[in-house]
């Protein structure tokens, strides 16, 4: 059988890797990841770069095409070798006719039907050798680019790494406590029992040293103050038993072989050790989250609204590249609670100033309780004694109505009276509820005006649209600004003075890596022959649809519009839809100029009811004879800050109704230039021009061949009216 792939990715003309440090720093778009903070990370090895879970402006995304690899790079080889000649297909005898013997292709299909998946896989022997790379990319203009990588060097005398298992009793789940215990152990016993070694600790079960410790197993007893749990109880001393036991030697030879091109797989264990070593010092200086570190000292703070602010930070990771080890550093940002008085936080959360002069509504009370639960606060009414508490909830009563027993005899005092008599503090906002701290059996009540949110608490809840936008604006930087900040961060971290890097013999360059790259020529775009311009060559990555028509124009004969933006008047929505329909026609689509139903306004809170009602009205208007050919398109006009409305509309249209939809924001409706209309027309054409029917046939064909021998039936269900393509919006 012939090879299943004629070329591996990255081979031949215009090829390369997506990793910046590996070959070329191609451009690309950053995109959002999951989680509370955001950062653009690039792939450590070849292939296309991928974004991960923090916000960061621009960056990796889809990697650019790379340059010629270094001579020390490991060669790419294919794992499977097959003959170019077909196997087990008998040649037809001379003089035989086609109706007497099956064709080779029919016989091959019959043979495949009788085989299981395992039989097919075992029929092709896997070779341990890869074919040599046939050539290197040469197309394009050569240039040098800077990558956010700093090359790392391992000193030969420091490569004897030892791993030790660590157990702490009583067992601790907090890495902060574990690190505090280990820091105290190193402080007390570094020069004695540890033989002068400075270990690197992962905060869990593993300890690493550059050389052996004087023992194979030893027990230590470390006494610390208990962690502040936020209950307000005075911290007591606690003794921990720490057992350190030799586990293994970390072998760096495999890493050297990989970097020299003599091994195909990167040794993740050795890379993990180096990562832990380089994270040790930043962990003690900054607030670590994931692979990033944050601090208010690393850059400007910015308010994100509703009592939340952004902190600047940096991401770091040690990576193997074709030029050796490198430290990847990039800027990142995440959300923290602002260290505000609680009453000011509540005012920002509710976006109102009259919180100081009225009681709370029930909905406001629920919102405050949800936002503050688990947040740590400190009291401000006791001078320098700033005891910390963790909020468990809000009281159902107002402060002026709260009472509690003060002794065993049943004497009861109000919270207002207690604070006045005990601390000489007169509570001003008695109509607000109190914060409830401590446990349920013995709750404590703290008025909001005597509490302040403790600094350094990361906000892990979902950000709203305005907060996301503000965070993106904070992290979006031009390349030269990003380069400047990365170099400043590198100098601020002073890796050449890092005691852990010195201990383990890791030397980090202070200069950005320079990488050979190639600027590939833009591809020529083909358009429909009926347009005035039949093709186009993009310039500086830009082109437009003027005087051009789509190659395959879609068909939309039935459409309507639902407007969810209150500030978009009916006549504006009608005019926008009319211009969009004309643009779709001018771009080569078979698009009806008039909607089947006129645009209507619907409240965003009633999105499901509005969409389903409009859909059924359209179905009834089309009549039974046309329902089978229904190609209804819904144009949704959304508010600029639409929260979950976009996701709800897409879910209802595509899952519940099987309806193609195209959304646009109110600001696009008001702007309404040809560029916006042309972009929307392109998206609509993709969604309206390709049916899932063709894909369904292909899937059923292949699944039939695979499952026939197992006597199973596989059914694929496609909702009626669903389209396969789904563009942005």
Beta bridge partners of 207: 164, 201
Longest dimension (CA), the chain: 116
**Can you tell me the mean pLDDT for 386-411?**
87
Pairing of strands 513-519, 443-447: unpaired
Task: Say how many CA atoms lie within 13 Å of 208 toward its Cβ.
Answer: 28
How many CB atoms sit inside 10 A of residue 55's CB?
A: 25
pLDDT of residue 264: 78
pLDDT surpassing 70 at residue 187: yes
| DSSP string for residues in 621-650 | HH-GGGGGG---EEEEEE-SS-TTHHHHHH
**Can you tell me the mean pLDDT for 450-458?**
95
pLDDT surpassing 60 at residue 161: yes
Q: Going from the N-terminus, what domains does the chain have, and what CATH number goes with each?
A: 342-453 (2.170.260.10), 552-693 (3.40.50.2300)
Which is nearest to 149 in space by CA: 61, 59, 210, 68?
Answer: 59
**How far apart (Å, rounded) are the C-alpha atoms in residues 324 and 153?**
8
pLDDT of residue 65: 39
pLDDT surpassing 60 at residue 249: yes
Residue 333, phi then psi, degrees to nearest 5: -155, 155
**Can you tell me the mean pLDDT for 107-115?**
62
Beta bridge partners of 324: 321
Tokens of 25: 């720093």
Tokens of 484: 């400047």
pLDDT of residue 544: 86
Chain segment 374-388, per-residue pLDDT in tens: 999 999 998 888 889
Chain segment 356-372, per-residue pLDDT in tens: 778 888 899 999 999 99
Per-residue confidence band for 598, with pLDDT thresholds at 50, 70 and 90: very high
pLDDT of residue 704: 34
**Residue of 671 and 73 predicted with greater confidence:** 671
Per-residue confidence band for 441, with pLDDT thresholds at 50, 70 and 90: confident
* Average model confidence (pLDDT) across the chain: 78
**How far apart (Å, rounded) are the C-alpha atoms in residues 452 and 339?**
7
Per-residue confidence band for 93, with pLDDT thresholds at 50, 70 and 90: very low
Per-residue confidence band for 21, with pLDDT thresholds at 50, 70 and 90: very low
Residue owning tokens 């645009």: 599
Per-residue confidence band for 128, with pLDDT thresholds at 50, 70 and 90: low
């Amino acid at each position: 059988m012939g090879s299943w792939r004629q070329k591996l990715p990255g081979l031949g003309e215009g090829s390369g890797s997506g990793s910046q440090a590996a070959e070329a720093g191609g451009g690309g778009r950053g995109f959002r990841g999951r989680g509370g903070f955001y950062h653009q990370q690039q792939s450590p090895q070849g292939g296309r770069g991928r974004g991960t879970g923090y916000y960061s402006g621009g960056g990796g995304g889809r990697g650019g095409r790379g340059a010629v690899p270094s001579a020390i790079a490991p060669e790419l080889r294919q794992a499977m070798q097959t003959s170019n000649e077909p196997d087990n297909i008998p040649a037809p005898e001379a003089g035989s006719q086609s109706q007497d013997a099956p064709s080779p292709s029919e016989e091959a299909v019959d043979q495949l039907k009788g085989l299981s998946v395992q039989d097919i896989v075992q029929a092709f022997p896997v070779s341990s050798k890869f074919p040599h790379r046939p050539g290197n990319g040469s197309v394009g203009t050569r240039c040098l680019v800077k990558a956010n990588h700093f090359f790392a060097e391992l000193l030969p005398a420091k490569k004897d790494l030892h791993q030790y298992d660590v157990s702490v009793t009583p067992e601790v789940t907090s890495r902060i406590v574990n690190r505090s215990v280990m820091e105290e152990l190193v402080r007390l016993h570094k020069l004695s029992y540890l033989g002068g070694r400075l270990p690197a600790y992962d905060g869990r079960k593993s300890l690493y040293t550059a050389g052996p410790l004087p023992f194979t197993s030893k027990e230590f007893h470390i006494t610390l103050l208990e962690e502040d749990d936020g209950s307000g109880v005075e911290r007591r001393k606690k003794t921990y038993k720490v057992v350190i036991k030799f586990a293994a030697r970390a072998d760096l030879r495999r890493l050297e072989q990989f970097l020299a091109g003599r091994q195909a797989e990167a040794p993740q264990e050795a890379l993990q050790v180096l990562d832990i070593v380089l994270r040790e010092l930043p962990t003690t200086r900054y607030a670590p989250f994931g692979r990033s570190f944050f601090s208010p000292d690393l850059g400007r703070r910015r308010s994100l609204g509703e009592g939340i602010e952004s902190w600047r930070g940096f991401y770091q990771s040690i990576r193997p590249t074709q030029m050796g080890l490198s430290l990847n550093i990039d800027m990142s940002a995440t959300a923290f609670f602002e260290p505000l008085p609680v009453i000011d936080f509540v005012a920002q959360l509710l976006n109102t100033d009259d919180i100081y002069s009225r009681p709370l509504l029930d909905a406001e009370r629920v919102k405050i309780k949800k936002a503050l639960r688990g947040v740590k606060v400190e009291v401000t009414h006791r001078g320098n004694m700033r005891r910390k508490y963790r909020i468990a909830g809000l009281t159902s009563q107002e402060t002026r109505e709260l009472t509690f027993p003060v002794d065993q005899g049943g004497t009861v005092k109000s919270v207002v009276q207690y604070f006045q008599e005990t601390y000489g503090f007169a509570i001003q906002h008695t109509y607000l509820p109190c914060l409830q701290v401590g446990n349920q059996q013995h709750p404590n009540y703290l008025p909001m005006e005597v509490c302040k949110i403790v600094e350094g608490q990361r906000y892990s809840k979902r950000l709203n649209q305005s907060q996301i936008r503000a965070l993106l604006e904070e992290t979006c930087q031009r390349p030269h600004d990003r380069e400047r900040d990365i170099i400043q961060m590198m100098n601020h971290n002073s890796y050449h003075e890092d005691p852990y890097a010195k201990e383990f013999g890791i030397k980090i360059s202070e200069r950005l890596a320079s990488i050979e790259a190639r600027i590939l020529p833009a591809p020529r775009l083909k358009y429909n022959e009926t347009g005035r311009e039949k093709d186009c060559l993009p310039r500086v990555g830009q082109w437009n649809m003027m005087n051009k028509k789509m190659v395959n124009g879609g068909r939309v004969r039935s459409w309507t519009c639902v407007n969810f933006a209150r500030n978009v008047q009916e006549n504006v929505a009608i005019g926008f839809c009319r211009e969009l329909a004309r643009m779709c026609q001018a771009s080569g689509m078979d698009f009806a100029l008039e909607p089947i139903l006129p645009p209507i306004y619907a409240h965003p809170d009633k999105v499901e009811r509005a969409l389903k009602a409009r859909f059924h009205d359209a179905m009834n208007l089309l009549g039974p004879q046309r329902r089978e050919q229904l190609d209804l398109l819904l144009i949704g006009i959304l508010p600029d800050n639409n929260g979950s409305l976009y996701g709800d509309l897409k879910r209802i249209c595509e899952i519940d109704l099987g309806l193609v939809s195209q959304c646009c924001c109110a600001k696009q409706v008001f702007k309404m230039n040809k560029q916006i209309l042309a972009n929307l027309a392109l998206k609509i054409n993709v969604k309206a021009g390709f049916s899932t029917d063709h894909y369904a046939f292909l899937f059923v064909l292949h699944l039939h061949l695979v499952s026939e021998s197992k006597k199973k039936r596989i059914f694929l269900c496609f909702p009626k009216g669903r389209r396969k393509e789904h563009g942005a919006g």
